[in-house]
Chain A
Amino acid sequence: MQEVIESPLFSIAITITGYEIGKWLNKKTNNPLLNPILFDICFVILIMQLLDISLETYNIGGSVINMLLAPATAALAVLMYNQLDALKKNMLPVFIGTSVGALSAMTSIFLMCKLFGLDENITLSLLPKSVTTPIAIEISAQLGGIIPITVAAAVFTGIMGMIICPIFIKLFHMKESVSVGIALGTCSHVSGTSKAVEIGELEGAMAGLSIGFAGIFTVIFSLFFL
């Protein structure tokens, strides 16, 4: 039995299973809090506790999945390329919006971390959390942050944005498609973009572009936090 558990196939198989169950539950209940990633993380941890699997053993297979983060991040280029026409028409709003947005995210996080007197390590882990998780992970690693905290914060930020932003959009009658799209993509990356797509085509395109550009600007700004 030990050999089976230690096979990399085992961790990969349970991770996929948890993800698929999470996706199914998310669709079934339509509850944004029942996020497939969060569900999968809990599912895998539960199985590990039940079968007494160490993190080291899990990571034999986990590292194979983790390795695919590299090409997955690179593939974001295709997402940006697909919105090339929308980008050409709105070059300036996208550039200025995502750079100012990324800067305001990092500044507000930094100041609040200082305010709450959080550890340096936790501050560095939270700084990149507003951008899409694969990019946030890279920045966190570069800064010397704790990667799992970054993952949790980035996923959580996405869920928050997805739930709260539509309320503000309704409450304040925010109708400007370009502004709404860029704001959603910048503050809550992929989850925000999925909401933007629901609102409208231009909103979705703008949000999609903002994921990439906010990511790049956050990488650049984080150079100054080192």
Chain B
Amino acid sequence: MNICMQIALLFFICLLGQCISLALPFPFPGNIIAMLILFILLLTKVIKPEKIQDFTGFLLSNMAFFFVPAGVSILESYPIMKDSLLPIFLICLLSTIITFFVTFATVKLVVTWQTKHKKTVKGE
């Protein structure tokens, strides 16, 4: 697929995601639906990943760049957050640490349970 076709295909998938998002009775972001559609298309081999890799490779390797304009808009919202900078900093820091340990402990539990489970199955 040439690069223009790849761009068009991805844009169509995003638009389809937005259509579905509008039709749903509850709010669910269109871009996430588009991600799920593309994942299903890849799983079912309708699209081969190498067919779209020029465009997806470009998007994935420059991901951070695309949200710079959203970040620049901080100019507008800075007055709202300027009195809460310290709490926001602490919340970011602490929630990251909490999430890290909770996730680590959860996965460890699941893996330990799975290994035990497999052993008992094999033992029978």
Establish whether residues B17 and A134, one from each chain, have CB atoms under 8 Å apart when the complex forms.
Answer: no
B123 partner residues in chain A, CB cutoff 8 A: none
Are B97 and A164 interface neighbours, CB within 8 A? yes
A122 and B67 in contact, given A98-B103, A183-B104 (Cβ under 8 angstroms):
no
Residue of A nearest to B34 (CB): A74
Within 8 A of A (CB), among B13-60: 13-14, 17, 26-32, 34-39, 42-43, 49, 52-53, 55-56, 59-60
A205 to B27, CA, bound (A): 30
A7 adjacent to chain B (CB < 8 Å): no
* Alpha-carbon distance A210/B103, docked complex (angstroms): 10
Within 8 Å CB of B10, what residues of A? Answer: 71, 74-75
Q: Could you tell me if A71 and B11 are in contact, using CB atoms closer than 8 angstroms?
A: yes
Judge whether B60 and A72 touch: CB under 8 Å: yes
Q: Which of A76, A141, A179 contacts B104 (CB 8 A)?
A: A179
Q: In the assembled complex, which residues on chain B have CB atoms less than 8 Å from the CB atom of A134?
A: 31, 63, 66-67
Instruction: Tell me if B100 and A152 are in contact (CB < 8 A).
Output: no
Pick the contact of B114: A92, A98, A148, A176 (CB < 8 A): A92
| Interface size counted on chain B using CB atoms at 8 A | 71
* A77: interface (CB < 8 Å): yes
B80 within 8 A of A: yes
Contact flag A174-B111 (CB < 8 Å), given A70-B34, A74-B14, A122-B88: no
Q: Which of B34, B55, B73 contacts A148 (CB 8 A)?
A: B73
Q: Are B27 and A223 in contact (CB under 8 A)?
A: yes
Q: Is A160 within 8 A of B107, CB to CB?
A: no
How many residues of A sit at the interface, in one of the four size bands? 35 or more
Docked-complex contact B32 and A138, CB < 8 angstroms: yes
CB nearest to A174 among chain B residues: B104
- Asked if B102 is at the interface (CB within 8 A of a chain A CB), the reply is yes
Min CB gap A132→B, angstroms: 8
The answer, yes or no, to whether B93 is at the interface (CB within 8 Å) is yes
Q: Are A146 and B75 in contact (CB under 8 A)?
A: no
Residues of A within 8 A of B63 (CB): 72, 132-134, 190
Chain B residues near A71 (CB-CB < 8 A): 7, 10-11, 13-14, 34, 55, 59
Instruction: Please list the residues of chain A having a beta carbon within 8 angstroms of any beta carbon in chain B.
Output: 11, 15-16, 18-19, 36-38, 40-41, 44-45, 48, 55, 58-59, 62-63, 65-66, 68-82, 84, 92-93, 96-98, 100-101, 104-105, 108-109, 112-113, 116, 118-119, 121-122, 126, 129-130, 132-135, 137-139, 141-142, 146-149, 151-153, 155-157, 160-161, 164-165, 168, 174, 176, 178-180, 182-184, 186-188, 190, 210, 212, 215-216, 219, 223, 226
Provide 18 A-B residue pairs closer than 8 Å at the C-beta atoms, listed in order of the A residue.
Answer: A11-B69, A68-B59, A71-B55, A72-B66, A74-B37, A75-B59, A77-B36, A84-B43, A112-B94, A146-B77, A148-B70, A148-B71, A148-B73, A148-B76, A153-B91, A161-B100, A180-B104, A186-B103
What 4 new A-B contacts, CB under 8 Å, besides A77-B35, A77-B36, A190-B63?
A: A71-B59, A77-B42, A104-B103, A146-B77
